[in-house]
Structure formats: structure tokens, C-alpha cells
Chain A
Amino acid sequence: MGGWAIAVHGGAGVDPILPNERQEEATRLLTRCLDIGISALRSNLSAIDVVELVVRELETDPLFNSGRGSALTEKGTVEMEASIMDGPKRRCGAVSGLTTVKNPISLARLVMDKTPHSYLGFAGAEEFARKQGVELVDNEYFITEDNVGMLKLAKEANSILFDYRIPTLTTCGGGAAMENQLQMNGLPISLYAPETVGCVVVDKQGHCAAATSTGGLMNKMTGRIGDSPLIGSGTYACDLVAVSCTGEGEAIIRSTLAREVAAVMEYKGLNLHEAVDYVIKTRLDEGKAGLIAVSKNGEVACGFNTTGMFRGCATEDGFLEVGVW
């Protein structure tokens, strides 16, 4: 045991009829990000630097729901949020309501490192970004054609579109059944939709860190904040473990999912895998979500109660896996 470990995710809840080409794109991106993280770890970068680096890569790529490629609000704009946490002293930084910051995760890092606060949102966060001289772009930069199309569909369905709609496995016949199928956050049908991203790392010193970034829920109300920037819900790291979650934001918040993994390890003495299993099985009720986690001992685990989760993980002793289902 011991040694570094890393996991990345591009969202929980995958449409089983997702086109192959899309699966391949996702797998390639996850592999690339994993490689970036692995190189960084081999170069002795600390966990906190690695998670930021990897999530920046995921934000910049338009494939998943973060940074460029973010889901759109009801107004057709992008409002991004992110959080980062450094296990050793449980330092953290979070941002919400970003509209021009190219890499939200880096701004979250700056909140952690350069302010007396832990969380900045909206105009105040943007102002801070300006003062820090981080790269700013027009809101249009983040908007992709795919997402414009998705928003339109979501409005037509007059419901909030979750990242990936998940078909429930119940087989029912008839039109009414359609309502029950392919649902996450009460949403119908499948098309591919972008996903929250995250990365967790334990470095050679046994220090854990976690980072999560997202554009949030498609067609969300302006000003809606989900689980990704909330410490204890979408992101958490302490001495023992680092966790990043994805899925139905409201369910993740109610179950304080990320903190839960650490809490059962701390308070019930479960190991990483037991903790992840326990939390996914018992804490989500009707909610749909997934998470990735690493422990200070160099273990890595992921769990999800959705049909799939875009993920990749690797450990120093040579384990490497990228998966969708």
C-alpha cells in the first residue's frame, strides 16, 4: 500500500444507447487527463496541484459539462461553479456564478490561497478574478452548439435537463412508461448531454486533494447553485481521503455525499472501498449519483448507482482503468 493514486470523472449517468463515437471521445479525454495527472505525480507535484491541473484540462475541453461545454441556464447563458480542497489542513476554495472566467477551478484555488474566505460567488467572484488577472473570456466562449440544441429540447420538454439522463431498468410498456424511463432529476429521453468533472489525488506524501467543476443543470434557474462548489457535498478532502461527486446535485447535497465517505471511514472505521459502497448504497435513497475517491494509503475507488459513470483511475503500482459502464 502507499504510493500515489488518481481518479478522474466526467459525470455519472450515462445513456446506454450513447453513440460509440461519443463513448470513444469521452474515453480518450479521460485517458489523456489521467496521463497528465500521472506525469505530474511522477514529477512529484503535490496532490493539490495535480487536481487543479487535471480539472483545468477537463474544463478547457468542450466535451464535458465544465468550463467550455458547460450546460446552459434557462436564459441560455453559462454560470459555472467549482471547488477544491486540500486534505492536510482541510483548506478549501469554491466559486459559483462565474460567467467569464476561463478556468473556474483555478479561481477556486485562488480563493483558497489568496483570500481570507472559502467561497465567492457571482459578481464578487468575477471582480476578484479581474483583480487577480486570471484569463477572462466572453460568455459565448463557453457555449457550444450541442448545448444550445439541448437547451431547446429541455425547454420543449419544459423540464430541467440533467447531465445524462438515465434509463431506469424497469421494463414497462405503453406511453405512460416513457415518463418513468430515462429519468434523472425528472427528465426524459436521451441525448447526450455534458457532465460535471472532477479529480481526486493522493500524492507520494500521502496527501489527498479533490477538485470538482461544472456548468450545472441544463435549463437551471439563474443563480442556482448545485453540489459541486459545496464543501462536504460535491467535494471533500481530509487526512484520510479525497472525494469528488457527480449526479443529481440536490440529492448529493441532502446526503452531504463527499463528507459521508470520509465520515464513515473516520467514525465507523470502514476502509475506502467499504465506505464508498456503503455510502452509494444507503445514503442516496431515490437520488442518482456517483463519486470517485482516493485514500491516503494509495487506494482508489469509485461508486455509482447510475447506469454508468465516465471515469478513469490509476495507482502507482501500475493499475489503470478507464470506464464508462
Chain B
Amino acid sequence: MGWAIAVHGGAGDIPLSLPPEKRLPREAALRRCLDVGIAALKAHNHPLDVVELVVRELENNPHFNAGKGSVLTTSGTVEMEACIMDGKTMKCGAVSGVSTVVNAISLARLVMDKTPHIYLAFDGAEAFAREQGLETVEMSHFITPENIERLKQAQEADRVQLDYTQPIQKEVPKDAALADGDSQIGTVGCVAVDSEGNLATATSTGGIVNKMVGRIGDTPIIGAGTYANHLCAVSATGRGEAIIRGTIARDVAAVMEFKGLSLKEAAAYAMDRVPRGNAGLIAVSSTGEVAMLFNTTGMFRACATEDGYSEFSIWDSPTE
């Protein structure tokens, strides 16, 4: 037992040849966010507060596909979504279609804490944010030149692009494993457990490049991209449609409970439910274990545990 924390900055076809100027800022950001999380856990903050804090940091960083730096819809707009869940109480909050709220994860938290609902979206979510006095800005705040470029490329290729993808053939069946990539930017998430076994998870994203306006992915769907209960906390990333069908986050916990699998075995089992090239996840268990798995080329990830273990990786790690 002891605390543990993991963060991710998206799974996808991150080429091994990723140039330093694209890799280093993300590495640095992820390390910094992990440190923020570790400090918060050491200071005995509740994991729910820790994951929200860490994800806020990631949202504010323009190098990830969440908050500032979110990928664009087919109309060139930003529609962000986020989700947070408390493993002990099973309380959760989710938002979609958020375009002016600086920190969507905090809005999700407020939905959880301040409404009788779990999930608010679009105009209703925006109105609630204003009622709550959350920080809002012009949508242009979130839009980066890189993402304008990504959208342009995607539209030229006339396809839907995952966070990290390779330009591919015209028709993209929903489950197509992604090929060569030019877009290296990912959904973010954080999972944490304290030394009492309290678990929490938070995920935030701008979605997929060139998505239809109004498209909702796996991130805000409890059991798909985000889930926590008394056994584990999970945050997934990758092709939303595949994660939804595979109810990935829920299944990690389900096989731990119903088949007695360990966290790592459960994570592997859940990942098998998603076709190659489609997803990754991070998870922590109530006993302080960590698992980080992906079936894409890479996943920006980092973790640390109270007994001193820590890891930062993008591609395959020998310890997985």
C-alpha cells in the first residue's frame, strides 16, 4: 500500500522519429504535471483533488489535446469534453461540447458536486459554467496554429484523424488501425490512489481532428474512457469509438472483480478488447499498483509510487 499516480498525454501512432522539438516540450510538461501530482499526494490531498489539479495543468499546456491545444472540429471550432470519477463514492461528473471554459475538468467536477446530474453538455454546460463563475474565455484562446494545420491536412485527406495518426486511405472504417502519423497530440488523463486506498480518475480532451460538430467520444462516457471504483481507477485514450464499444475502463475493474485478475493482468485483458492501434490506458489499484498499457505505437505516460518507483516513457517500456 501507499500512494500511486499515473498520467498520460495520449496514445497513438507516435513515430519513433518524433523530432526533439515536438517530443521535449511534452516530456517536460508531463514530468512537471506528475511532480505536481506527487507533491499533492504527499501533502495528503484527496486523490479527487489531485487528479483534477493535474489534469488542469495538462489542459493549460498547449502541447496536449485538451483545453488549450485541443484539436478542431470540422468547422474549425473547439468542443472539449472531460470526466472525473471518485472510486469510493462512485460519484462522477462529465461535460461535453464545452467551447469557452478554460478548464473543462473543473466544470465536470462542479457537475458532480453541485448538480443532481452527472453529465451536462453544450449550451447547458456552458450556461452552468457561467452560473458557477468558472473562468471562461473566447474560443480562440484554445486554438493553436498547429491544430489549424492539422485540421487542414485532415480535410485535405478527407478523413477523420485520431490524435496521433498517419495520413491514410480515403475510407476510414471505424476500427481501422491507424497508419502513418503526422499529428502527435493526445487526450490527457490522470489516475491516483492515496495510502488509504481512495481512488480517482480524470480525463480531458478536445476529441479527434476534423470530427463532426457535436461528436462525443469515450472520454465523458463512464465505463468507456473513464472509470473508478473501490478496486481501481482508469483513464483511457485512443480511438473513442473503439473504447466505447469495448467499455474499456469498466472492464479493467470488472475482470479484477469477477476473475480475480491483478491490475496489470486486467489492463492487458481490457486492451485485448480493442483492435491493435486503437488505444491505451493508465490505471492504479487500491493497493498502490500502477499499470500503463497501449496497443498503439506509443503513449505519452509517466507514473510514480510511494515506494520510490517512477517512470517516464513514450514507446515500449521494458517494465510493461
Q: A225 contacts B120, CB within 8 Å?
A: yes
Write the chain B residue with the least CB distance to A236. B247
Which residues of A (96-134) have their CB < 8 Å from a CB of B? 96-97, 115-125, 127-128
Mask: chain B, 215-259; 1 = CB below 8 Å from A; 0 = not = 111000111100100000000000011001111001100110011
Q: Which of B129-182 contact A (CB under 8 A)?
A: 160, 172-174
Q: Is A250 an interface residue (CB 8 A)?
A: yes
Q: Which of B20-28, B89-97, B282-290, B312-320 contacts A (4 or more CB under 8 A)?
A: B89-97
Tell which of B7-15, B41-49, B110-118, B303-311 binds the partner. Answer: B110-118
Q: Contact at B96–A253, with CB atoms within 8 Å?
A: no
Main secondary structure of the interface of A (DSSP, over half): mixed
Report A219-257 CB contacts with B as 1/0, cut-off 8 Å: 011111110001111001000000000000110011110
From B118, B120, B224, B259, A223 is in contact (CB under 8 Å) with B120
Interchain nearest-CB distance for A279 vs B (Å): 12
- Whether B214 lies near A254 (C-beta < 8 A) is no
Chain B residues whose CB sits within 8 angstroms of the CB of A232 once the complex forms: 221-224, 244, 247, 250
Contacts of A96 in B (CB 8 A): 121, 216
A264 interface hit (Cβ, 8 Å): yes
- Contact: B258 with A267, CB < 8 Å? yes
Q: Is A92 an interface residue (CB 8 A)?
A: yes
A97:B247 contact, CB within 8 angstroms: no
Q: Are A231 and B258 in contact (CB under 8 A)?
A: no
A16 located at the interface, meaning its Cβ lies under 8 Å from any Cβ of chain B in the complex: no
Nearest B residue to A220 by beta-carbon distance? B117
Which of B117, B160, B174 is in CB contact (< 8 Å) with A224?
B117
Interface of B is mostly: mixed
Q: How many interface residues does chain B have, given as a range?
A: 35 or more
A91 part of interface (Cβ distance < 8 Å): yes
Q: Which residues of B contact A28 (CB under 8 A)?
A: none
- Asked if A185 is at the interface of the complex by the 8 Å CB criterion, the answer is yes
Q: How far is the CB of B210 from chain A (nearest CB, A)?
A: 10
Report A-chain residues with C-beta under 8 Å of the C-beta of B213: 123-124, 127
- Find out whether the CB atom of A116 lies under 8 angstroms from the CB atom of B160: yes
Q: How far is the CA of A254 from the CA of B88 in the complex (A)?
A: 11
A223 to chain B, nearest CB (A): 2
Residues of B within 8 A of A (CB): 90-92, 94, 96-97, 115-125, 127-128, 160, 172-174, 211-217, 221-224, 227, 240-241, 244-247, 250-251, 254-255, 258-259
- 11 additional contacts, CB 8 Å, given A90-B245, A119-B244, A124-B214? A91-B245, A116-B174, A119-B215, A119-B221, A121-B216, A124-B213, A128-B214, A220-B117, A222-B127, A226-B117, A231-B247
Which A positions have Cβ atoms within 8 angstroms of B?
90-92, 94, 96-97, 115-125, 127-128, 160, 185-186, 217, 220-226, 230-233, 236, 249-250, 253-256, 259-260, 263-264, 267-268
A sample of 9 inter-chain contacts (CB < 8 A) reads A116-B160, A117-B160, A118-B241, A123-B213, A221-B117, A222-B124, A230-B223, A253-B118, A254-B90
